[in-house]
Structure 1
Amino acid sequence: MMEPSTSPSPVPSEIFALVILLVISIVVLFILRYYLPLRTTPAYLLVPVFFALWLPASMVLLVPIDLASTAIGDDIAARGIWLEAAPLRVSWRLTYWLTFSLTWFILPILAEYSDSGYREPKGKILDSLHANAQYYAIVFGSGAAGLIYVLISYGHFSESLKSTVMALAYCWGLILAIYLMGHGLVAIPRRLLRDANASGRLRRIQSQAPKTYEQMEDAEMDLEDLEMQVSELSRRKGGSVTLFQDWIEELVDLTNLPEQPASARVIRGSGDNSKILPTVITEKYMAELTRRLVRAKHARSRYVNEWNRLLQDAVRTQAILDSAASKKLDFGASYSHASFWDRYSPLNPYTRFLFHYHAVPYFRVGIGGFLALASVCIIWSEVVKGLVPQASVIRYSVIHHWEGDNGQVGLAGQVIAAFWMLYMCAAALISITEVKVWRGRALVRRNTAPESAFWYASQVARLSVPLSYNFMTFLGEIYRETVFYDFLGQLINLTPLGKYFDYLFPAFILIPVCATLFGLYGKVRRTIGLGVDVIDEDDDGEGTNVYGTGTWREGRDLIERELNGTSAAIRGRRVEAAARIAGHSDRRAAPVLSVPSSSRPGPTTPFGTSPNARPVANSSARRVGPSTPRAGLTEPEDENFFEALGHRFKNTIDTIDTPKWFQDIGQGMKKPKWMGGADEDEGLGSRLAGPTRGNSDVRRWFGGGEGRIRL
């Protein structure tokens, strides 16, 4: 019988850690593949972004291993996965300094490099350094002030520079992490609980439709304006244009001008397209035009993707609601972005109905309630860790093997610690995707802009270290024995200011939590007049009826029109109206609303990704035309008595035919000049005196013609 070894080998733990790192690498590659085309993405983008995601993910593995490896306890077998101090210290140093370099130097420079419009690498690098000059001036200025403070407090220079850099980076990351995590700890469980109600989820989707559609429309128009500039630039001959002929040809290749009719390429608000170009074409102008064109293409792709996803969610949710009568659920033909489960699901229509209509809502309620309880535990631990660390709930959920006042982390505690860290990181990162940032950065499936990919990767890297160290402070005195504390914590607690900041500032997580929980963001925006495009989540899908946004009824009509294929006819009428405006811009300066006819249905392409198939209608008057049949979208009309009475009067007046005696007015009498009499224009008078109803429309008295109203 063999006696147990007194010093067990860490080889099994090392093998397990390597396997987990391999799994993390595969997961990161799948994430990159979801947002970026791996085959066409250059290596200078893929490699830094991969490490910016892989290194923070590895911290979720390093923190539990560090806790189990250095926690005080004589029972080595109860440690779980552990490593020796030397390789653990090397791992922390490599992870921290690589993450630090990516966050503050590599990713910002590469982001501006990819966003630069210059053709040559030298010009891109100089443009990137120039764009980051102000950013680095602020960073180095803060570092110099912090260095002076540390020198006064600590009195030595050997560790002052490194401690100042690490402490300032940690403090800035902690401020951002606490705010974003506080928002996400409320948003994640609330979204799960609200999505359990299918009718409420459909109402919220419909409330978001007008805003999303308007953003997509504006993005398409901005792109058309820039494409028209490129078209005018390509037609200019001689002068300074000859110096950039190859560059101009590359821009023409980036546009879709050959695929669009000439009447559609009209610059808004411009009667002479040549005025949009400067007299002398310079390299700086070409670089700025290239930058704007690339940004506009990615913006159009982003909003088209959001609109398609909104349509997809609306169709799926409506199908779930409609299946209550037939007890059968069929989502129809597989669309291009359908998941693997939707394409190869083993469920038949009846079992699919049971799963989506009955099981999924209860599952969402259960997961939402569980995550809500986890959010409460994290918020409570943040508040009490500086005053009463023994009251931390997370501390007792991770440390199971207690020996007096000390404890030890086992395998179960490591798994729970990994869960806590994953949830904290997910709350912060989901908040980043929801917050509106400058330049319209967004993550788009298979078409994320390089600058957006660099920016989001830098935020992930920036938040990883503060969140990891902040989690370890929940565990009381046990975290002071870890290698991570010896490497980073001592430098943070080097001065009294850093120590108090680390313990007291996380209590301010209550501010974003309360702001998100009670909808303070929307209330403040509406109070100060900035709520023109805000749809509050606190309205349960009703939307905020403010200037410039539509209600859920308008969103429902937009979705119906897209699914019924009437948007192609509306686009055709808009193109004709744009051509008329361009041809008569000198005589008609006011905008014209074209009322489309309902007798010209277009092709049904609810999930197409082609930009030419997207509806382009006037978002401020989307419901002026006849309503299309509501195919299955049967939401109740919540109208009171006065609204119903007003609608009845409106429908009655709209269906009244013009009397014959009113149509004949003007045939036997001479109209004055202010009404467009025959003395001013005989042709116009004869048309106004015609027998048809459309020719006697009173809308012509207000400057309209052929069914158009001048606003």
Structure 2
Amino acid sequence: MIGNPSAVGSEVFSLIALLIISLGVLLLLRHYLPLRTTPAYLTVPIFFALGIPASIILLVPIDLASSSRGDDASRGIWLPDRVLLVAWRISYWLTFGLTWFILPILEEYADAGYRDPKGRLLYSLRANAKYQGALFGTGLLGMIYFFISAGVKPASLKGLVMALGYCWGLILGIYLMGHGLVAIPRRLFRNASISGRLKRIQTEAAKVHEKMEDAIQNLEDLEAQVAQLSQRNTGSAKEFKDWIEELADESHLPESRPRTLSRRLSAPQVNVPNVITERYLADLSRQLDRARHTRARYLDEWDRILQDSVDTQAILDSAGSKRIEIGEASPNAPILGRFSVLTPFTRYLYRYHFIPYLRIFFGCFFSLASFCIIWSEVTKPINQYFSIISVTVVHHAEGQQGRIGFAGQVIAACWIFYMCAAALISLTEVKVWRGRALVRRNTHGESAMWYAMQVAKLTVPLSFNFLTFISPESLYKETTFFNFLGQYITLTPLGTWFDWLFPIFILVPVCATLFNLYGKVASCAGYGNVIEDDDEDNESGYGTGSWREGRDLIERELQGASSLGRLGHTATDRRSHVPNNPNNRTAPTLTVPPAERHRALGQASTSRPSADPQQHASTAPEDENFFEAFGHRVRNTVDTFESPKWMQNMKRPKWMGGDDDDVGDDGAGPSRSGSWFGRQDGRVRL
């Protein structure tokens, strides 16, 4: 007679896995948050909001193996049923409390702007009252349906709470996952082309640079408002003197950074009310905090673009020399990135040949994985035996009852991790979350809370959705997870149909992302020129956030002639942190016709005026009067004027200085000044 198998080995493995997950979460927090200065009320909930979902990814495969082990010893990692039930209760209810109550309150608490904890807490409770009120209204409708279908009993109320939370998480998770299942392999395929990757980096540079200018301008306006507010010593401002002085002490940009011409000519937008109230100061503090983190976000993105541009250009230039030299490593580089055992030639082989083919391989691999998930979602209502995921997870089939061994558990954990990663990557790509972003070592506390809340909100529904792929149906219905959560979801017929049929709608975000329906809808709405990066009708390529404009902006920044100044970094420091000093290299080269390339390099960007402070030192002094400023504005308008396309195709008559050939100034061909009265250099021809 065989005795009961021992679960000591599985328990030790589970404890070691939890320690590794906790260490990984700490490293992730250290990457995005300054742990020494971040308060504990932010780091502790974020730690649990990230660590518990990561443990669920391992808990689901353990639950599957435990429910299918039979009377003999399991071939995988298993735990007793009582231990699994306690683990699911702790994981689910702690995640539920963090998602719907703790994190939303702390999120608004961190973004309140008030100085005292009481004011922050009251602001957070007021902000969450509207959200919770809308949820309560939805819950009342669901409660009526649950009580009619399942009867009035405590289990109905518990099932209502769990089912509503699952439904909302599944709706958001299916949409985000459908977008990510296409975005992940497509990004790998696109980055496999070195020249195409450089062009996309330069296209992104133009957009990020413009957003960075707007962020700096917004912060300067707010700090000018604080400066004017600090000059008041009478009236209602006297009551908040300490608060105003604290804001003034925190408001300081580098005075050595030169300002652009547009910012020198335009006065900061200052709007200080006559009566200063606590609510006004809280709003100002909140706006300042958000503006500083927004500025830090775009500065970090700009630095990343510069580094990626130089690295990609070095790889592209190595096609002739067959060598890639690297310079001094950046202080922000990881420890492994500061050392290299590759020679210049082997580095060329690795980056120019091996990495692109590796990206193509992983692109094909993840495309196949995405297809398997989509296929399983679509065929699940028809027949579970068609599920490809089930074939890869369930092994050692014995009749109708399958077995899941250690290999099946590893594969199941990989499937869940890929599904969650596809949904979470979509959160960072879709820029509709009120400007929230993850910034290295400088993430706003409110943003960190929000992203942690989404991780906790999406993991449980996607994990249970994965269970429904497993066939036979009796296998996953015997799991502790199904007995704990699934029975309440399928408590009513509406919940059963929703759980089985709604995942089919994953085809909507998949098709929208695969066929670029978002861009087509935007084009029909009149925003096509803003979204489309490659505008063939725009020959100059400027003024639309094109790669030509981004290329020139990157080159000016690397040459030390940035319109934004150094922003705390000198040009020498930044060039020493990138390989292949670009000062001895021409502009980035792409496969562009010579004439178009010469024309693009020979003219400055027209989306905004040239902002070199030395260039305008004599024409735009700080103490210029109104008439000088007005003249500079007119000159700036003429310099940046771009004539419409119908006027570019028209030739000037001879009496206005033109001829039939309309030869340009360089004698190389037709002039493209495109204006009867203006020239490309800004001079007026009468």
1:262 to partner: Cα distance: 10
The residue number in structure 2 matching 1:557 is 552
8 Å contact kept, 2:32–2:441: yes
How far apart, CA to CA, are the structure 2 residues paired with 1:547 and 1:155? 66
1:69 to partner: Cα distance: 0.3
How far apart, CA to CA, are the structure 2 residues paired with 1:280 and 1:61? 57
The residue number in structure 2 matching 1:473 is 468
Cα distance change, pair 266–72 in 1 and its aligned pair in 2 (3 A): same
Residue 193 of structure 2 corresponds to residue 197 of structure 1: yes
The residue number in structure 1 matching 2:130 is 134
The residue number in structure 2 matching 1:218 is 214
The residue number in structure 2 matching 1:255 is 251
1:583 to partner: Cα distance: 5.2
Q: Secondary structure at the match of 1:572?
A: coil
1:130 to partner: Cα distance: 1.1
The residue number in structure 1 matching 2:13 is 16
Q: 1:31-52 CA deviation, whole Å, 9 max, x = no partner?
A: 0010001111110010000000
Q: Secondary structure at the match of 2:531?
A: coil
8 Å contact kept, 1:192–1:364: yes
1:340 to partner: Cα distance: 3.0
| Matched pairs, number | 614
8 Å contact kept, 1:224–1:265: no
Deviates more, 1:98-107 or 1:340-349: 340-349
Q: How does 1:370-519 map to 2 (within 5 A)?
A: 370-476=365-471, 477=473, 478-519=475-516
Q: How does 1:59-138 map to 2 (within 5 A)?
A: 59-71=56-68, 73-78=70-75, 80-138=76-134
Counterpart of 2:278, as a letter, is: E
How far apart, CA to CA, are the structure 2 residues paired with 1:171 and 1:67? 23
Q: Secondary structure at the match of 1:339?
A: coil
Give the alignment partner of residue 241 of structure 1, picking from 228, 237, 240: 237
The residue number in structure 1 matching 2:225 is 229
- Structure 1: gaps (5+ residues): 596-617, 625-641, 657-696, 703-711
Q: 1:66-104 CA deviation, whole Å, 9 max, x = no partner?
A: 0000126444242x0000000100000000000000000
How far apart, CA to CA, are the structure 2 residues paired with 1:346 and 1:422? 32
The residue number in structure 2 matching 1:690 is none
How far apart, CA to CA, are the structure 1 residues paired with 2:662 and 2:210? 26
Residue 205 of structure 2 corresponds to residue 209 of structure 1: yes
How far apart, CA to CA, are the structure 1 residues paired with 2:18 and 2:395? 26
1:213 to partner: Cα distance: 0.6
How far apart, CA to CA, are the structure 2 residues paired with 1:577 and 1:442? 40
Counterpart of 2:402, as a letter, is: G
8 Å contact kept, 2:212–2:298: yes
How far apart, CA to CA, are the structure 1 residues paired with 2:38 and 2:467? 37
How far apart, CA to CA, are the structure 2 residues paired with 1:646 and 1:27? 68
Cα distance change, pair 646–414 in 1 and its aligned pair in 2 (3 A): farther
1:564 to partner: Cα distance: 1.4
The residue number in structure 1 matching 2:591 is none
Counterpart of 2:494, as a letter, is: L
Counterpart of 2:98, as a letter, is: L
Q: Secondary structure at the match of 1:222?
A: helix
Q: Secondary structure at the match of 1:402?
A: strand
Q: How does 1:581-600 map to 2 (within 5 A)?
A: 584=625, 592=633
Q: 1:332-367 CA deviation, whole Å, 9 max, x = no partner?
A: 221233233331121111111111111111111111
The residue number in structure 2 matching 1:297 is 292
8 Å contact kept, 1:558–1:622: no
Give the alignment partner of residue 150 of structure 2, picking from 131, 154, 168: 154
How far apart, CA to CA, are the structure 2 residues paired with 1:323 and 1:201? 15
Q: 1:549-575 CA deviation, whole Å, 9 max, x = no partner?
A: 222111111111111122258342598
Cα distance change, pair 322–369 in 1 and its aligned pair in 2 (3 A): same
Residue 174 of structure 2 corresponds to residue 178 of structure 1: yes
The residue number in structure 1 matching 2:607 is none
Q: Secondary structure at the match of 1:407?
A: strand
8 Å contact kept, 2:542–2:548: no
The residue number in structure 1 matching 2:321 is 326
8 Å contact kept, 2:21–2:55: yes
The residue number in structure 1 matching 2:582 is none
Residue 275 of structure 2 corresponds to residue 280 of structure 1: yes
Residue 349 of structure 2 corresponds to residue 354 of structure 1: yes
1:6 to partner: Cα distance: 2.4
Q: How does 1:17-56 map to 2 (within 5 A)?
A: 17-56=14-53
Q: TM-score, normalised by structure 2?
A: 0.83
Q: Secondary structure at the match of 1:401?
A: strand
Counterpart of 1:559, as a letter, is: I
8 Å contact kept, 1:70–1:482: yes
8 Å contact kept, 1:116–1:287: yes
Q: Secondary structure at the match of 1:439?
A: coil
- Structure 2: gaps (5+ residues): 566-610, 644-650, 652-659, 672-680
Counterpart of 2:427, as a letter, is: I
Q: What is the RMSD of the two structures over their aligned residues, measured on CA atoms?
A: 3.3
Residue 664 of structure 2 corresponds to residue 649 of structure 1: yes
Identity over aligned residues, as a percent? 56
Cα distance change, pair 582–546 in 1 and its aligned pair in 2 (3 A): farther
Cα distance change, pair 545–591 in 1 and its aligned pair in 2 (3 A): same
Give the alignment partner of residue 572 of structure 1, picking from 600, 604, 613: 613
Q: 1:207-240 CA deviation, whole Å, 9 max, x = no partner?
A: 1111111000100000110111111111222111
Deviates more, 1:465-474 or 1:645-654: 645-654
8 Å contact kept, 2:260–2:612: no
8 Å contact kept, 2:376–2:388: yes
How far apart, CA to CA, are the structure 2 residues paired with 1:376 and 1:74? 36
1:647 to partner: Cα distance: 11
8 Å contact kept, 1:386–1:503: yes
